[in-house]
Amino acid sequence: MREAGFTTFLVDDDPAVLKAITRLLNAAGYKTKSFSSPREFLSAHDPSIPGCAIIDLVMSELDGLHLQQALIERGSERPIIFLTGKGDVSTSVRAMKAGAVDFLMKPVKREALFSAVLRAAKVDALSRQKRDESKSIGDRLATLTHREREVLEYVIAGRLNKQIAASIGTVEKTVKVHRGRMMAKLGVRSVADLVRLADKAGITPAYVSG
């Protein structure tokens, strides 16, 4: 289930708590990396390492919600589990809305912690897979010529070759050639596959009036 190299990043400014939770996760076989300073964690953060972050909500240097915000601003999608000493509904809602995986009350039970970490691992794996996929699509799109890209946008808009030819000022035959090359470069066989891919890549169809 766990990806190779999956690491739990622990951030808590209470050294005793940090040490104990690290110990617990280690005993359960997790690879851990502990930070008693949220800023240190932030500066050492490497998004390429698969894993999740377990962050104490109340810290003097930088509190949990601000740390979460800072990570989001840096484009990190690291799943976060918050630990807190007090059950504050509004804070937990804000944390969850900002994408936290879970919000756990201290003292945290082993089962609750482990299940949250497992869920975080899933989220992390999924987001990594998605990221990989969109990265390969991007790579393939980058190989298209300007014309091929233009044709792609008209095709996913549902235009016929003839219409496309008229729009870009060429003959139907040329459009057919561009279309064939484009489909091959992107590795799709049907227009349906092409539309799904374009959707994933966020390409907007070229709508032409009339």
Partner 1 sequence: MRDGQSSDLPGSDLAKTVRNFFIVAIAYYLGAEIAFLVGTLSDKIFAPFWPPNVVLFCALVLTPPRQWWIYILAVLPAHIAAELRIGMPATQLLVAFVTNCSVAAINAFALQWLKVESPWFGNIRKATAYVFVTAFVGPALCAFGGAFVQILGGGAIEDYGLYWARWYASNALGSLTLGPIALICLEKIPFSLVNPVRRRLEALLIATVLALTCIVAFQEVPAIATGYVPALLYLPLPIIVWAAVRFGAKGASGAIMVVSLMLIWRTLNGPSLFVVGSAEANVFAMQLFLIGLSTPILLLGSAIEETRHAETATREREERISFAAASSSVGLWQYEIATGTFWATDYCRTLFGLPSGEAVNLDHLLSRIHPNDYRVASAAFRSAIARAVPLEIEFRVQGMNDGIHWIGARAQPVLDEDGEPTAMTGAFGDVTSRKMAEADADMQRQEIAHLMRVSMLGELSGGLAHELTQPLTAILSNAQAGKILLSGGKKNLEEIGNIFDDIITEDGRAGEVIHRLRGLLRKGENKYEAIDMNELIGSTLRLLHSELIDRRIAVSDEKAVDLPATKGDPIQLQQILINLFMNAMDAMDGVAPARRVISVSTVMTNEGGVEVRISDCGTGLPPSQEQHVFQPFFTTKKRGLGLGLPICASIMKLHGGTLSLQNNVSEGATAIFRLPPAGV
Question: Which residues sit at the interface with partner 1, rule CB under 8 A?
Answer: 14, 16-17, 19-21, 23-24, 26-28, 58-60, 63, 83, 85-86, 106-110
CA distance 163 to 210: 10
Residue 124 C-beta: closest distance to partner 1, Å: 22
In the bound state with partner 1, the residue whose beta carbon lies nearer, of 14 and 153, is 14
In the bound state with partner 1, the residue whose beta carbon lies nearer, of 16 and 89, is 16
**Closest listed residue to residue 50, CA positions, set 28, 76, 18, 69:** 76
φ, ψ for residue 109, nearest 5 deg: -80, 150
Which residues does 131 contact at the CB level (< 8 Å), separation at least 6?
77
In sequence order, the β-bridge partners of residue 82 are: 55, 103
Residue 53 C-beta: closest distance to partner 1, Å: 17
Helices (H), 87-160: 89-97, 110-142, 146-156
In the bound state with partner 1, the residue whose beta carbon lies nearer, of 20 and 184, is 20
Residue 81 C-beta: closest distance to partner 1, Å: 14
CA distance 83 to 75: 22
Per DSSP bridges, beta strands 80-84 and 51-56 are parallel
In the bound state with partner 1, the residue whose beta carbon lies nearer, of 85 and 158, is 85
Residue 101 C-beta: closest distance to partner 1, Å: 19
Under 8 Å between Cβ of 37 and 56? no
Residue 60 C-beta: closest distance to partner 1, Å: 5
In the bound state with partner 1, the residue whose beta carbon lies nearer, of 106 and 176, is 106
